[in-house]
Amino acid sequence: MSSVISARYMTWAFERSLVDFAPVHEPVMVEEVLEALRPEKGRFFLDATCGTGGHSLAIAERISSEAVLVSNDWDRSVLEIAKERLLRQNKQIVITNFNFASLNNISAASGIRKFDGVLADLGLSSFQLDDPRRGFSFQSEGILDMRMSDFLSLTARELVNTLSEQELARIISTYGEEKKARRIARAIVKRRAKQPISTTRELAEIIEKLGVRRGRIHPATRTFQALRIAVNDELGNLERFLSNLPQFVAPGARVVIISFHSLEDRLVKRAFKAWAKEKKGRVLFKKPLRPSKEEVSRNPRARSAKLRSFIFESER
Ligand SMILES: C[S@@+](CC[C@H](N)C(=O)[O-])C[C@H]1O[C@@H](n2cnc3c(N)ncnc32)[C@H](O)[C@@H]1O
């Protein structure tokens, strides 16, 4: 009896398509992205961090039939969902699976040398954050993994169990901007001497016991952010992406970058300033755009988003 029920369910599920049941990430600041990127105008677009495809879908709806959108992500698992959602659009869309730091690979795989618009929506998608098997969240039990891509081999579990106390403190302080980094590193080293730390809850409890809560955020928030940045070399990748980008944009190209913490935003701001100084183009907004109150109340994960945009010089 139960097999009949499951078979019927599966038929129905496939008729609807599996993607209709997949948890997808809610894209942030969509209207602001479209206004800055102007996808209806150019020919070649790159969504460097496509995730489950929210922004890519919005861009795909607006590009012309001659235009091509390259939707890229480092994480193969999100692309499975993005692919199904995007292929429903009757537009030219190429899906690639590279670290955005290697723009040369994205360019070679898509056959596009120069993009008219590039979007990078940095960080993690809800799809990744909410999956306990990925180990990004201290709110659910999972193996301390935190790798954004299966191209990576070193996990957060290896970092917390093998790095020296000084190195752990440096990572937690620099990437987490955590004032209690030395105390946290000391507690980690003390605990792992008894037994290796394997799970997200084990690490969170070590930090909770120290009573280092600051304001309303959970005391483990900054340490988890720091480990995630270290495992994925997020700042190194962003720096390489920004330094390679000018070679891969067409005259008049528009670049939009959304960041979620001050370390990323600082790198974006600095790169845009340097490009403007080199007369490559101009910064579109003096101050980064922030999500509206309505958006934050609808989607609290948007609350720390900062959107910056740069327009490259058109040919004269
Ligand atoms: C905030 S999510 C993007 C969500 C997406 N804009 C949407 O609307 O669904 C960030 C994405 O960036 C990807 N990512 C992070 N670092 C990356 C890198 N170095 N190269 C390519 N993708 C990366 C993550 O895997 C994640 O899917």
Q: Which domains does the chain have, with CATH numbers?
A: 10-121+235-312 (3.40.50.150), 132-232 (1.10.150.170)
What's the CA gap between 76 and 96, in Å, rounded?
9
Q: Is the pLDDT of residue 280 over 90?
A: yes
Can you give the pLDDT at residue 315?
A: 73
Which residues make Cβ contacts (< 8 Å) with residue 245, sequence separation at least 6?
A: 103, 118, 255
Can you give the pLDDT at residue 236?
A: 98
Rounded to two decimals, what is the model's pTM?
A: 0.92
What's the CA gap between 134 and 155, in Å, rounded?
10
Ligand 1 centroid to residue 99 C-alpha, Å: 10
Q: Is the pLDDT of residue 99 over 90?
A: yes
Give the mutation target among 55, 57, 73 for probing the ligand 1 site: most ligand atoms within 8 A of CB: 73
Give 28's DSSP letter: S
Task: Show the DSSP H helices in 156-217 as ranges.
Answer: 156-162, 165-176, 181-194, 200-210
Q: Is the pLDDT of residue 13 over 90?
A: no
Ligand 1 centroid to residue 281 C-alpha, Å: 26
Q: How confident is the model at residue 116 (pLDDT cuts 50, 70, 90)?
A: very high
Residue showing tokens 């327009």: 311
Q: How confident is the model at residue 22 (pLDDT cuts 50, 70, 90)?
A: low
Residues whose beta carbon lies within 6 Å of some atom of ligand 1: 25, 27, 49-55, 73-75, 78, 99-101, 121, 123-125, 148, 237
Q: Which residues pair with 217 in a beta bridge?
A: 214
Helix, strand, coil in percent for the chain, rounding step 5: 50, 15, 35
Residue showing tokens 């980064």: 288
Q: How confident is the model at residue 21 (pLDDT cuts 50, 70, 90)?
A: low
Greatest distance between any 2 Cα atoms in the chain = 73
Extract the tokens encoding 51: 């995730």
Q: Is the pLDDT of residue 14 over 60?
A: no
Can you give the pLDDT at residue 25?
A: 84
Atom of ligand 1 nearest to the CA of 125: 2
- Region 263-279: mean pLDDT is 97
Quick one: which of 205, 204, 195 has its CA closest to 223?
Answer: 204
What's the CA gap between 280 and 248, in Å, rounded?
13
Write the residue with the smallest CA distance to atom 25 of ligand 1: 75
Can you give the pLDDT at residue 216?
A: 76
- Region 198-206: mean pLDDT is 97
Can you give the pLDDT at residue 8?
A: 29
Distance, C-alpha 67 to centroid of its chain: 25
